């Protein structure tokens, strides 16, 4: 299994749209891995995670081939994860060669409501898009053969944001953006499950965030508990992503802080195989 990261920032991007802070100035100065767009990742070639407004940039500059995507899992309705107008660009009015299948979109009821409100503004959207509501601890098998289980995140109540446990063959990944330290019933569900990869929210960096998002300390507590429960071990690939501009952090400075602990630090276009 393989995960490709296209966007690895918080909601405001990094450099942030209107920001003149030191972290944003450094990102503009150094470029490369320091420039982060909004949250999106892909499992193998056909399963997409989240659909931010920067999806267009990911197609134009990072080689994301949306025409191959069969399933889209949306974590929650925040705009940096879900910009549904661009899904409607899959219409035959705007796109050729998209195949005769419908793109299967999965998300919580709030995402479902926004999806419906948006697509009804476009002609024949039901011909090329299909939505499925998921709630925590339900699972489904996607058309491209992934067993997907929605788990509860700690983020943005009253909407129930979702984490995704994605399994195919012998491999599994837990995708955990955006979330604070997991709710207790999510911990209970994970007991006894071995994970080959975990992608963890690290929005706060050195800020001690534990609810809504995580920083370095909450990430350490989360991986310690996953280790104690037997979910992860030395063979598990643990990746941090969804970073906010803060202080004088650069990509390199995040790596210096976190790589000695065994974590991988995601950046836009990073690929990890596990």
Residues interacting with Zn ion, by CB under 5 A? 16, 19, 21, 24, 78, 80, 178, 245
Strand order in the sheet with 264-265: 139-141, 147-152, 162-168, 171-176, 197-201, 237-241, 264-265
To the nearest whole angstrom, how small is the minimum distance from the Cβ of residue 98 to Zn ion?
Answer: 27
To the nearest whole angstrom, how small is the minimum distance from the Cβ of residue 245 to Zn ion?
Answer: 4
To the nearest whole angstrom, how small is the minimum distance from the Cβ of residue 132 to Zn ion?
Answer: 21
To the nearest whole angstrom, how small is the minimum distance from the Cβ of residue 30 to Zn ion?
Answer: 14
Q: Which is nearer to Zn ion, 11 or 227 (CB)?
A: 11
Nearest to 162 by CA among 249, 239, 90, 78: 78
Strand order in the sheet with 2-7: 129-133, 103-107, 71-73, 47-49, 40-43, 2-7, 271-273
Q: Which is nearer to Zn ion, 70 or 155 (CB)?
A: 155
| CA 49/CA 161 separation, integer angstroms | 13
To the nearest whole angstrom, how small is the minimum distance from the Cβ of residue 34 to Zn ion?
Answer: 12
Q: Which is nearer to Zn ion, 19 or 133 (CB)?
A: 19
Q: Which is nearer to Zn ion, 54 or 167 (CB)?
A: 54
Per-position b or e across 192-218, b if 16+ CB within 10 A of its CB: ebebbbbbbbbbbbebebbebbbbbeb
Q: Which is nearer to Zn ion, 203 or 236 (CB)?
A: 203
């Amino acid at each position: 299994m393989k995960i490709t990261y296209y966007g690895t920032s918080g909601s405001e991007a990094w450099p942030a749209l209107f920001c003149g802070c030191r972290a944003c100035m450094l990102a503009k100065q150094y470029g490369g891995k320091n420039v982060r767009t909004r949250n999106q990742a892909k499992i193998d070639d056909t399963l997409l995670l989240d659909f931010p407004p920067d999806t267009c940039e990911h197609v134009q500059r990072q080689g994301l081939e949306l025409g191959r995507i069969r399933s889209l899992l949306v974590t929650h309705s925040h705009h940096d994860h879900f910009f549904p107008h661009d899904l409607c660009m899959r219409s035959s009015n705007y796109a050729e060669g998209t195949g005769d299948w419908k793109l299967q979109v999965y998300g919580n009821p709030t995402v479902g409501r926004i999806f419906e409100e948006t697509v009804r503004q476009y002609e024949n959207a039901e011909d090329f898009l299909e939505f499925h509501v998921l709630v925590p601890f339900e699972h489904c098998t996607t058309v491209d053969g992934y067993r997907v289980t929605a788990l509860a995140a700690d983020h943005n109540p009253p909407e129930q944001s979702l984490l995704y446990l994605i399994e195919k063959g012998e491999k599994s990944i837990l995708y955990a953006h955006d979330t604070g330290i997991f709710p207790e019933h999510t911990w209970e569900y994970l007991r006894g499950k071995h994970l080959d990869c975990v992608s963890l929210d690290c929005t706060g960096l050195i800020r001690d965030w534990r609810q809504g998002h995580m920083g370095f300390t909450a990430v350490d507590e989360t991986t310690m508990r996953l280790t104690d429960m037997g979910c992860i071990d030395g063979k598990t690939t643990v990746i941090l992503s969804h970073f906010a501009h803060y202080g004088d952090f650069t990509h390199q400075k995040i790596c210096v802080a976190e790589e000695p602990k065994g974590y991988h630090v995601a950046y836009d276009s990073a690929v990890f195989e596990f």
